[in-house]
Amino acid sequence: MEQDIRLTNTWFKQHPRRLYTWTGPGGQVKNQIDYIGIQQNWSTYVSNCRTYPGADCDSDHQLLVATCRIRLKNKKRMEIPLRLNLEELKGSQEQKFAIEVKNKFEALENVEEERSPE
């Protein structure tokens, strides 16, 4: 209770042979002593929990399985930047673009000169 953990195999109604997890010597004693614990905020993801008595586990314990359904968020894809149409840049557009780029670099040089200690 301190850790806010629920035992999943106690929630679901099952046939009695799907509930016990341990069989004593001779097969007379059957108990539910193995549990699957999960945090309460994840408990809505468990849809079923039961044992499989016929599974060959080479043990006096039964195989205990919980079925979970997990919903994951879709990861947003990065948008691919649009490529420039180089045909549109030829001619007068090409000259305008070259002048704009040149002006931006000159402005950066002026800013660097203003920040210099000299």
pLDDT, mean of each 10-residue run, the chain (118 residues):
84 83 84 87 87 81 88 83 73 79 83 61
60's CB contacts (< 8 A; 6+ apart) are 22, 23, 24, 25
* Look-up of token digits 């314990």: 61
In the prediction, which pLDDT does 115 show?
Answer: 61
Decide: 38 and 65 in contact? Cβ < 8 Å. Answer: no
What contacts 31, CB < 8 A, 6 or more positions away?
A: 20, 21, 22, 24
pLDDT score for 57? 75
pLDDT at 101: 87
Amino acid present at 27: G
Domain boundaries, the chain: 5-68, 83-118
Q: How many residues does the chain have?
A: 118
